[in-house]
Structure 1
Amino acid sequence: MAIDDKDVGEVAKELKGAFDDFKAKNDKELEAIKSEKSKLSGDVDKLNEKLGEIDKLKADLEKELKAAKRPGATEGKDVEAHQKAFGQFLRKGKNEDELADLQQKAVQVAVDSDGGFAAPEELDTALLEILRDESPMREVCGSIIIGASGYKKLVNLGGAGSGWVGESEARPATGTPTIAQLEAFMGELYANPQATQQSLDDIHFNVEQWLSEEVAREFAEQEGSAFLLGNGTNKPKGILAYAMDAAADKNRTFGKLQKLVSGVAGGFTGDNLIDLIYSTKKGYRKNAQFMMNTLTLAKARKLKDSDGNYLWQAGLQLGQPSTLLSHAVAENEDMPDAAVDANAILFGDFKRGYAIVDRFGTRVLRDPYSNKPNVGFYTTKRVGGMLLDSNAIKVLALSA
């Protein structure tokens, strides 16, 4: 929906009204006699669904407003020439020698051995922006852009030791600090969208925009799941693929996530969410948020505290997200459903806990031969993921 269709203030008022209706119906459902409960339950579910739609609309409008205010990049002559030559390459497959020279001047990379070309910086950056908007993981996690094929990071785990001594007493040696090396799990992501040569010949057809949007949709679906569930084999290793342990931070091996259990098979309570928050150290809680899918969030919206107040509160101001126990919620449909033993809820500072690693430079190989009369654009990019700090993210398993 375009910004002009509705402003954020109107949607915020609609969100407040929907939340008030939802609370009223849900309260009646809880108090209703058994014969009336079925009808009220259906009304509550419909209002809960509407509440989610309005909340998402507000968030989307805010993203669109932010994108409209984003300043454009400054471009040099070499970059502009590269963009123009790349556009001609996409449409006609011509000027490959000229494109190769301009590519080296503009982005300092050589022509790929399989004949592909690096997308111009503007297109590559636009692709990352679209992916960031499309992927919940890209919105909340840290991001690292590299120029090499892989990424490694050293982490100081401490352990030097210290002690108290008298003024004249000997100072015994202490332990040696432990240094761990973290390495991103990388993989190559590809898409092969097709366009007819007739459409490419049409000057009104924006081939660069079409390519970035087509590829972004395909990439977002694949990598969004991998950043959460990927096994690390030729793809990123996702958060939920790392080892887990019930022990607290000071007793748990670094690199293992702490897993709390709800005590309710397939369900959870407000107390479980509070335990999840306060199992996280204070330094991480400032920028922490929940992550769950839409159905799990619908269950969370019905939770109340001991005074009858709802734990979920609607965000009614521009830039203010709806919150659960005062923390934002990232909706991610790749999260497991609320079922028995499911790791259905995450909480933490995802920027400090998990990093998405992008190798700068999206490659495009033009193929007019394999699927005539269509022209294929075999597009690849190298991307990875890694758990940075296993103390920053906590997991709630819905187990008895």
Structure 2
Amino acid sequence: MSKLQGLLDKRATAWAAAQDFQSRGDDKPLSAEDKTAWDAALADVERLSSEIETEERHARLSSVDYSQVVTASADTEEGEEARRRHGGEEGVRAYESAWRSWMREGTTELSSEERKTLRTGFVDGKELRAQGVATGAAGGYMVPAPFRAKMVETMKFFGAMRDVAEVITTETGATLPWPTNDDTANVGAILAENTQVTEQDVTLGQADVGAYVYTSKLVRVSLQLLNDSAFDMEAWLAGKLGQRIGRAQNAHFTTGTGTAQPEGVQTNAVIGKTGTTGQTTSVIYDDLIDLIHSVDPAYRLGGRAGFMLHDTALAAARKLKDGQQRPLWEPSVQAGVPDLLLGYKYTVNQDMPVMAANAKSILFGDFFAGYLIRDVQDVQLIRLAERYADFLQVGFLAFARTDGTPQDTAAYKAYRNSAT
């Protein structure tokens, strides 16, 4: 039995015990001893769920064969741009080799030919501005496509929004006009013979999707590790940079203000249900049902609909039951099968607000239809060799450009806790 399956079995047992105590409490008040045991069972469920999530994330990351990560092929725009910049396929391969040598050893150890090749990937501040960067960024060497692919793969695991939103990649960071629409109220009609077709305007708006510069902040690596040829430095560094940038981006994709940062999915979400007085830090079964049905069936029934909430809100939802005293939360007992809430999958997003007065603490809907993430394919890396030489360390700093915007606010709605 795998460790993950063992955790799933333990959680199923703890959940059954918690439900047994809750059922007893429905008939008569629990004794102090039973109440303590019930709380302990619920705590076990939460602890085991956290361990399961960690184990699943580790399993997903471990299962990624980074040598097989799909990168820019010959027939893609990204591949064409790489060949143009580096002088053909041979130039691309030469740049990747020179870049890896630079990453481990620095510029001084490169041959004159490698330095010449590496310069084809240098991007200074002037070129970044020409590519449409609205905010300043230091120049650096563009990471090769395989390294960027590893970073993006890691960012998916450390940014809940990337799991559910639509993600596009563009060559430059120039402002991209993006249509936003809600066409659910428009319908077709039968056309009689010799009758003119009537017009019905699509509710169409536009969002300007830019490219904000995100930094990983400084990552320091020991010289011993850099010089260890057995250590996969490229995969480790890509993972570390991806984690940091992924977390920073996810915070803005969730609750960003839209001013000097992306507008988050939660920020201006339409209210689908407001809790009744007294529900400043709670939610009830009827609230979740009303929230689900506040979203048009066209989005609910497409197979992509689900909840998004903070882990503390999920903990509250785990204790809820429907009218037949059946738990709303359905724990998975099989690896690879997601837990469900009222029959829908859910995404735990720690950047969602915790339940509090007037907080939009739970979202429901189709987030792929509702939110767009735009990445710029170029990622710059700076190597700081002298700054930490007295520590026998080298610093690395990555810059990535991205933006996000709601693209169909009818696709999802929010539950708002009561004001008092």
In the alignment, the residues of structure 2 paired with residue 18 and residue 98 of structure 1 have an alpha-carbon distance, to the nearest angstrom, of 63
Residue 22 (str. 1) matches residue 37 (str. 2): no
In the alignment, the residues of structure 2 paired with residue 96 and residue 26 of structure 1 have an alpha-carbon distance, to the nearest angstrom, of 71
Q: For the Cα contact (< 8 Å) 1:185–1:235, is it kept in 2?
A: no
Distance verdict in 2 for CA 1:97–1:175, change over 3 Å: farther
Among candidates 158, 171, 189, match of residue 214 of structure 2: 189
In the alignment, the residues of structure 1 paired with residue 367 and residue 119 of structure 2 have an alpha-carbon distance, to the nearest angstrom, of 36
Q: Structure 1 residue 331: deviation in Å?
A: 0.8
In the alignment, the residues of structure 1 paired with residue 237 and residue 55 of structure 2 have an alpha-carbon distance, to the nearest angstrom, of 28
Q: How does 1:100-115 map to 2 (within 5 A)?
A: 102=117, 111-113=123-125, 115=139
Q: For the Cα contact (< 8 Å) 2:180–2:408, is it kept in 1?
A: no
Q: Structure 1 residue 379: deviation in Å?
A: 1.2
> After alignment, is 381-390 or 76-85 more displaced?
76-85
Q: Which residue of 2 aligns with 1:274?
A: 289
Q: Which residue of 2 aligns with 1:384?
A: 403
Residue 260 (str. 1) matches residue 273 (str. 2): yes
In the alignment, the residues of structure 2 paired with residue 9 and residue 160 of structure 1 have an alpha-carbon distance, to the nearest angstrom, of 48
Q: Structure 1 residue 230: deviation in Å?
A: 1.4
Q: Which residue of 1 aligns with 2:178?
A: 153
Among candidates 218, 225, 237, match of residue 251 of structure 2: 225
Q: For the Cα contact (< 8 Å) 1:321–1:328, is it kept in 2?
A: yes
Q: How does 1:153-302 map to 2 (within 5 A)?
A: 153-155=178-180, 174=199, 177=202, 179-190=204-215, 191-242=217-268, 244=269, 257-263=270-276, 264-285=279-300, 286-302=303-319
Q: How does 1:67-78 map to 2 (within 5 A)?
A: 67=64, 71-73=68-70, 77-78=90-91
Q: Structure 1 residue 52: deviation in Å?
A: 2.1
Distance verdict in 2 for CA 1:350–1:174, change over 3 Å: closer
Q: Which residue of 2 aligns with 1:118?
A: 142
Q: Which residue of 1 aligns with 2:94?
A: 81
Distance verdict in 2 for CA 1:178–1:221, change over 3 Å: closer
Q: Give a deviation string over 1:23-65, Cα, whole Å, max 9, x none.
A: 1233344543464565245324423323423542564366357
In the alignment, the residues of structure 1 paired with residue 158 and residue 329 of structure 2 have an alpha-carbon distance, to the nearest angstrom, of 24
Q: Structure 1 residue 298: deviation in Å?
A: 0.9
Distance verdict in 2 for CA 1:37–1:96, change over 3 Å: farther
Aligned residues between the structures: 379
Distance verdict in 2 for CA 1:26–1:62, change over 3 Å: farther
Q: Structure 1 residue 104: deviation in Å?
A: 8.6
Distance verdict in 2 for CA 1:162–1:211, change over 3 Å: closer
Q: Which residue of 1 aligns with 2:85?
A: none
TM-score normalized by the length of structure 1: 0.82
Q: For the Cα contact (< 8 Å) 2:285–2:322, is it kept in 1?
A: yes
Q: How does 1:122-137 map to 2 (within 5 A)?
A: 122-137=146-161
> After alignment, is 271-280 or 150-159 more displaced?
150-159
Q: Structure 1 residue 72: deviation in Å?
A: 4.4
Q: How does 1:40-79 map to 2 (within 5 A)?
A: 40-53=37-50, 55-57=52-54, 59-60=56-57, 63-64=60-61, 67=64, 71-73=68-70, 77-79=90-92
Query: 2:226 is paired with a residue of what secondary structure?
Result: helix
In the alignment, the residues of structure 2 paired with residue 340 and residue 155 of structure 1 have an alpha-carbon distance, to the nearest angstrom, of 30
In the alignment, the residues of structure 1 paired with residue 32 and residue 367 of structure 2 have an alpha-carbon distance, to the nearest angstrom, of 45
> After alignment, is 385-394 or 204-213 more displaced?
204-213
Query: 1:39 is paired with a residue of what secondary structure?
Result: helix
Distance verdict in 2 for CA 1:104–1:39, change over 3 Å: same
In the alignment, the residues of structure 2 paired with residue 96 and residue 343 of structure 1 have an alpha-carbon distance, to the nearest angstrom, of 57
Q: For the Cα contact (< 8 Å) 2:221–2:394, is it kept in 1?
A: yes
In the alignment, the residues of structure 1 paired with residue 259 and residue 363 of structure 2 have an alpha-carbon distance, to the nearest angstrom, of 23
Query: 1:360 is paired with a residue of what secondary structure?
Result: strand
In the alignment, the residues of structure 2 paired with residue 295 and residue 353 of structure 1 have an alpha-carbon distance, to the nearest angstrom, of 24
Distance verdict in 2 for CA 1:29–1:101, change over 3 Å: farther
Q: Structure 1 residue 96: deviation in Å?
A: 8.5
Residue 360 (str. 1) matches residue 360 (str. 2): no
TM-score normalized by the length of structure 2: 0.79
Q: Structure 1 residue 13: deviation in Å?
A: 2.8
Distance verdict in 2 for CA 1:111–1:45, change over 3 Å: same
Superposition RMSD in Å: 3.2
Q: Give a deviation string over 1:77-116, Cα, whole Å, max 9, x none.
A: 54443222111111222249755765698xxx66435551
Q: Structure 1 residue 325: deviation in Å?
A: 0.4
Q: Structure 1 residue 209: deviation in Å?
A: 2.5
* Percent identity of paired positions between Structure 1 and Structure 2: 24
Letter in 1 for 2:282: G
Q: For the Cα contact (< 8 Å) 2:24–2:30, is it kept in 1?
A: no
Unpaired runs of at least 5, structure 2: 74-88, 126-137
Q: For the Cα contact (< 8 Å) 1:341–1:397, is it kept in 2?
A: yes
In the alignment, the residues of structure 2 paired with residue 136 and residue 166 of structure 1 have an alpha-carbon distance, to the nearest angstrom, of 49
Letter in 1 for 2:416: A
> After alignment, is 357-366 or 198-207 more displaced?
198-207
Q: Structure 1 residue 340: deviation in Å?
A: 1.9
Letter in 2 for 1:186: A
Distance verdict in 2 for CA 1:184–1:287, change over 3 Å: same
Distance verdict in 2 for CA 1:33–1:200, change over 3 Å: closer
Q: Structure 1 residue 152: deviation in Å?
A: 2.3
Q: Which residue of 2 aligns with 1:343?
A: 360
Q: Structure 1 residue 321: deviation in Å?
A: 0.6
Q: Which residue of 1 aligns with 2:135?
A: none
Query: 1:346 is paired with a residue of what secondary structure?
Result: strand
Q: Give a deviation string over 1:328-362, Cα, whole Å, max 9, x none.
A: 11111111112222111011111111111111121
Q: For the Cα contact (< 8 Å) 1:89–1:96, is it kept in 2?
A: no
Unpaired runs of at least 5, structure 1: 245-256
